[in-house]
Amino acid sequence: MIEFRNASKSYDDGTLAVSDLDLTAASHEITVLVGSSGCGKTTMLRMVNRLVTPTSGQVLIDDVDVADRNPVELRRSIGYVMQNSGLLPHRTTVDNIATVPVLRGTSVRDARKHALELMEIVGLDRSMARRYPWQLSGGQQQRVGVARGLAADPNILLMDEPFGAVDPIVRADLQRELLRLQAELGKTILFVTHDIAEAIALGDKIVILMKGGRIAQQGSPAEIMASPKDDFVTSFLGLDGARSLHVDGHLVVDPSGRPVGRLA
């Protein structure tokens, strides 16, 4: 379980990235932080593995303040997947995946063996093992990124817009894969995105953020969709626009009368 207690982050120039955040991300669930740019969602994520230190307040993992943990040890125990994969360009796929286990003292041979297994788990062909990141497509790079995040078998996975830079078809594919993986592995995942559709598709719990790092509303996708708290949430969800659907005979249509689906 990840818990933010009155966590704030302000910068020297006075910008308030996160203000007074109280938030709990339950174990074995996907919690999605969603908001437009400048809402502090990445900053929140980076507080968990101490890449960012809160100006005030605490972040706790299983009731232990992360500030009391050695940052290097802490980071090695948490998986991290980022937008542009952040793969090391001078290392092959298999060595990129093996990075954290090797840092933690696993022999290179064992770590590579395990990396090959992970490649299969994330849907990468073994023939990619000896390729360098620039020889892979964007979607493949992100799969390597996910495999790398999972390599040390962490309880927690932090994902910072991991599918933001790939095309919509690949993104949908990666989202399905993530849900399949999660059903098997049951990690505690904190997922950041600016795409509300992605948040609805993946989140057990969604946290909608406003500028300055305040929570507009949080809850399950169904709860939020059923009763949006205010106009901001309504418009963020698109309930006053594209997602304002009604039934016309057997068809479900959008506000302009175009069909988007059919009642089953």
Partner 1 sequence: MSYLVAALQWLSDPANMSGPNGWQARMAEHLWYTAVATVVACVIGIPLGYAVGHAHRFRTVIVSSTGAARALPTLGVVTLFGLLLGIGLDAPMLAFVLLALPSVLAGAYAGVEGAPRDSVDAARAMGMTEWQILTRVEAPLGMPLLLGGVRSAVLQVLATATLAAYVGAGGLGRFLFLGLKTQNYPMMVASSLVVMGLAIVLDLAFEVVDRLVRRSVPAGAPAS
Positions in the binding site for partner 1 (CB under 8 A): 46, 49, 51, 72-77, 80, 82, 84-90, 99-100, 103, 132-134, 148, 158
Residue bearing tokens 């074995």: 28
> In terms of CB distance, is 143 or 205 closer to partner 1?
143
Between the CA of residue 26 and those of 42, 150, 156, 188, 256, what are the distances in Å?
Answer: 19, 19, 11, 7, 39
Q: How far is the CB of 104 from partner 1 (least distance, A)?
A: 8
Q: How far is the CB of 133 from partner 1 (least distance, A)?
A: 7
Residue 88 or 242 with smaller CB distance to partner 1: 88
| Least distance from partner 1 to the Cβ atom of residue 11, Å | 17
Q: How far is the CB of 10 from partner 1 (least distance, A)?
A: 21
Q: Which residues of 159-181 are buried (b: 16+ CB within 10 A; e: fewer)?
A: bbbbbbbbeeebbebbbebbeeb
Residue 199: strand, helix, or coil: helix
State which residue, 132 or 194, has the beta carbon closest to partner 1: 132
In order of 61, 65, 78, 155, the CA distances from 68 in angstroms are 11, 6, 15, 18
Residue with tokens 């980071």: 75
Residue whose CB is less far from partner 1, 80 or 191: 80
Q: Is 90 or 258 the residue whose CB approaches partner 1 more closely?
A: 90
Shortest Cβ 83–partner 1 spacing (Å): 8
Ramachandran region of residue 180, left (φ > 0), alpha (ψ -120 to 50) or beta?
Answer: alpha
Answer for the pair 5, 67: CB distance below 8 angstroms, yes or no.
no
Of residues 86 and 212, the one with the C-beta less far from partner 1: 86
Q: How far is the CB of 179 from partner 1 (least distance, A)?
A: 24
> What letter does residue 51 receive in the DSSP assignment?
S
